[in-house]
Amino acid sequence: MNERHPIAVVFVEDDDDVAAGSAQALELAGFEVMRYDTVEAARSAVTAGLPAVVVCDVKLPGTSGTAWAQELHRLDPELPVILITGHGDIAMAVQAMRDGAYDFIEKPCSSERLASVVRRAAEKRRLVLEVLSLRRQLEGWQGIKAALIGRSTQMERVRELVRTLAAAPADVIVYGETGTGKDLVARCLHDHSERRRGNFVPVNCGGLPETLVDSEIFGHEVGSFTGATRRRIGKFEHANGGTLFLDEIESMPPAVQVKLLRALQDRTIERVGSNDAVRIDCRVIAASKEDLRVLSEQKRFRADLYYRLGVAFIELPPLRERREDIPLLFEHFTLQAARRYDRPAPIADDRTLSALMAHAWPGNVRELHNVADRFVLGLLGDELGAKLGQHERSAALPEQLEHIERALITESLRRQHGDVTLAAHALGVPKQTLYDKLRRLHIDATEFRAGPG
Render pLDDT for 147-179 as a digit per residue (tens, 0 to 9): 999 988 899 999 999 999 998 889 999 999 999
416-443 b/e (C-beta count within 10 Å ≥ 16 → b): bebbbebbbbbbeeeeeebeebbeeeeb
What is the model's pLDDT at position 396? 54
Those residues whose C-beta lies under 8 Å from the C-beta of residue 440, and which sit 6 or more positions away, are: none
What is the model's pLDDT at position 399? 64
Looking at per-residue confidence, does 342 or 352 come out higher?
342
Give the whole-number percent of the chain exceeding pLDDT 70: 93
What is the model's pLDDT at position 445? 87
Q: From CA 324, how far away is CA 151, in angstroms rounded?
A: 7
What is the model's pLDDT at position 452? 39
pLDDT at residue 395 is higher than 50: no
The answer to whether the beta carbons of residues 359 and 385 sit under 8 Å apart is: no
Instruction: Judge residue 75's burial from the number of C-beta atoms within 10 Å of its C-beta, 0-12 exposed, 13-18 middle, 19 or more buried.
Output: middle
Q: From CA 63, how far away is CA 54, in angstroms rounded?
A: 15
Instruction: Judge residue 28's burial from the number of C-beta atoms within 10 Å of its C-beta, 0-12 exposed, 13-18 middle, 19 or more buried.
Output: exposed
> Which domains, ranges and CATH numbers included, belong to the chain?
8-139 (3.40.50.2300), 150-315 (3.40.50.300), 325-448 (no CATH)
Share of the chain residues as helix, strand and coil, in percent rounded to the nearest 5: 55, 15, 35
Those residues whose C-beta lies under 8 Å from the C-beta of residue 279, and which sit 6 or more positions away, are: 267, 268
pLDDT at residue 392 is higher than 70: no
Average pLDDT over residues 356-372: 91
- pLDDT tier, 343 (very low <50, low <70, confident <90, very high otherwise): very high
The answer to whether the beta carbons of residues 143 and 70 sit under 8 Å apart is: no
Give pLDDT tens digits for 34-63: 999 999 999 999 999 999 999 999 989 999
Minimal CA–CA distance to 351: which of 372, 309, 382, 313?
382
Residues forming beta bridges with residue 43, ordered by sequence position: none
The DSSP symbol for 230 reads S
Q: From CA 69, how far away is CA 20, in angstroms rounded?
A: 22
The alpha-carbon radius of gyration of the chain (Å, integer) is: 29
Give the whole-number percent of the chain exceeding pLDDT 90: 55
| From 19-33, 219-233, 309-323, the region with the lowest mean pLDDT | 219-233
Give pLDDT tens digits for 200-244: 999 998 888 877 888 889 988 888 888 888 888 999 999 999 999
Q: From CA 272, how far away is CA 66, in angstroms rounded?
A: 78
- pLDDT tier, 398 (very low <50, low <70, confident <90, very high otherwise): low
Looking at per-residue confidence, does 379 or 316 come out higher?
316
- pLDDT tier, 353 (very low <50, low <70, confident <90, very high otherwise): confident
pLDDT at residue 87 is higher than 80: no
Average pLDDT over residues 277-284: 93
pLDDT at residue 394 is higher than 50: no
Looking at per-residue confidence, does 5 or 210 come out higher?
210
- pLDDT tier, 397 (very low <50, low <70, confident <90, very high otherwise): low
pLDDT at residue 387 is higher than 70: no
- 105: part of which helix (H) or strand (E)? strand 103-106
Those residues whose C-beta lies under 8 Å from the C-beta of residue 25, and which sit 6 or more positions away, are: 111, 114, 115
- pLDDT tier, 307 (very low <50, low <70, confident <90, very high otherwise): very high
Q: From CA 68, how far away is CA 70, in angstroms rounded?
A: 5
Q: From CA 97, how far away is CA 106, in angstroms rounded?
A: 14
What is the model's pLDDT at position 381? 67
DSSP 9-59: EEEE-S-HHHHHHHHHHHHHTT--EEEESSHHHHGGG--TT-SEEEEEESS
How confident is the prediction for the chain on average, in pLDDT?
87
Q: Of the segments 101-115, 301-315, 390-404, 425-439, which one has the largest average pLDDT value?
A: 301-315
What is the model's pLDDT at position 134? 83
Looking at per-residue confidence, does 260 or 213 come out higher?
260
